[in-house]
Amino acid sequence: MENNKLMDKGPFSLQNLNRFSKQSCSGCRVADQCLPGLIVRNNSSCSLDRYSLDNLVERRRIFHQNEHLSFKMQRLDYLYAIHSGSCKAYYVDHEAREHITNFYYPGDVIGLESIFSRKHLVDIVALETSSICFIELSRFMQLHQQSSEIRTQLVNLYSQQLWQAYCMQGTFKAEELLVRFLLNLSHHAKARGESEEQLHLSMGRHDIGSYLGLSSETVSRVITRLKKQKLISVNRSMITLRNLSALHLLGGNVESV
């Protein structure tokens, strides 16, 4: 029932999509936030014809929860863009600990960190039922050579992701980390036109911990503490930020990317 409500409120109805479908970016709902979408949208000043651009996304496919988009060490044939849903990227270290490198949401492009090695450096998994766009890498690189829009957008995208990654380095208190994580989610949700207070966490406590460098127990404890301080309220995987300004203070007012 909770789930049905979510589906109805979602950006589009999953049922209407074929499992494999030829898609174009022109009509995409998250085109505003997405790299291919941005490029297509700015087509006017672009040296490429509309056909090439709309074919940047080769196809789209539904992935179910815990289904892999790709495995570590596979050849890097595609980048992925998230149309709806969410994914995590992770690798397993020599002591069998899972390290999540990033979470991805609608409009995000996946795989940028792996390009130099020409193979996937991480496993990529859907956190919930998700609609994923396939961007053939060779075509992308071709278009990248031809379109100044792609170039500009790509540099900005890389630059942002790099800065974001830098901001995760160093040592922080558990509370600070978690608050920043939540504010980051909120920021991105807002950018996508969703609520900035109501967050739906598609990943488990363990995943959050793995991303932030904490144990799932610590994540749980900090959430409980924030709940007691009335800064957030929690309903299963739904978190409501009750006092954004107070949270910004706790998180150190980091200008999120």
Q: Considering the rule CB under 8 A, would residue 58 count as an interface residue with a copy of itself?
A: no
In the bound state with DNA, the residue whose beta carbon lies nearer, of 108 and 207, is 207
Residue 75 is given by DSSP the state B
Phi, psi of 158 (to 5 degrees): -60, -45
Q: What stretches of 121-243 show up as alpha helix (H) in DSSP?
A: 137-146, 148-168, 174-191, 205-212, 216-228
Q: Cα–Cα distance between 257 and 247 in angstroms, integer? A: 17
12 interacts with, out of DNA, a copy of itself, none, CB within 5 to 8 A per kind: none
Q: Which does residue 166 bind out of a copy of itself, DNA, none, counting CB within 5 to 8 angstroms by kind?
A: a copy of itself
- State in angstroms the smallest separation of the CB of 250 from a copy of itself: 10
Rounded CA separation 18/21 (Å): 6
Number of residues that bind a copy of itself (CB under 8 A): 44
Residue 221 binds DNA (CB under 7 A): yes
Pick 5 or 138: Cβ nearer DNA: 5
Rounded Cα distance between 118 and 103, Å, is 21
- Which of DNA, a copy of itself, none lies near 102, with the C-beta cut-off 5 to 8 A by kind? a copy of itself
Q: Indicate which of DNA, a copy of itself, none lies near residue 148 (CB less than 5 to 8 Å, by partner kind).
A: a copy of itself
Member of 30, 214, 226, 241 binding DNA (CB under 7 A): 214
Going across the sheet that includes 198-200, the strands are 198-200, 238-241, 232-235
SS3 242: coil
Of 153, 134, 184, the closest CA to residue 34 belongs to: 153
Residue 242 binding DNA, by CB under 7 A: no
**CB-wise, 29 or 205, nearer to DNA?**
205
Q: Exposure pattern of 166-200 as b/e (b: 16+ CB <10 Å)?
A: eeeeeebebebbbbbbbbbbbebbeeeebeeeebb
Please identify which residue in 47, 160, 224, 240 interacts with DNA, judged by CB under 7 A.
224
Subset of residues 168 to 207 that bind DNA, contact rule: CB under 7 A: 171, 173-175, 204-206
Q: Is 218 in the site for DNA (CB under 7 A)?
A: yes
190 binds, among DNA, a copy of itself, none (CB under 5 to 8 A by kind): none
Q: Which is nearer to DNA, 41 or 225 (CB)?
A: 225
The CA radius of gyration of the chain, in Å to the nearest whole number, is 19
- The answer to the question of residue 234 lying near a copy of itself (CB under 8 A) is no
Told to check if 146 binds DNA by CB under 7 A, we report: no
Site for a copy of itself in 75-104 (CB under 8 A): 93-95, 97, 99-102
Q: Which residues pair with 64 in a beta bridge?
A: none
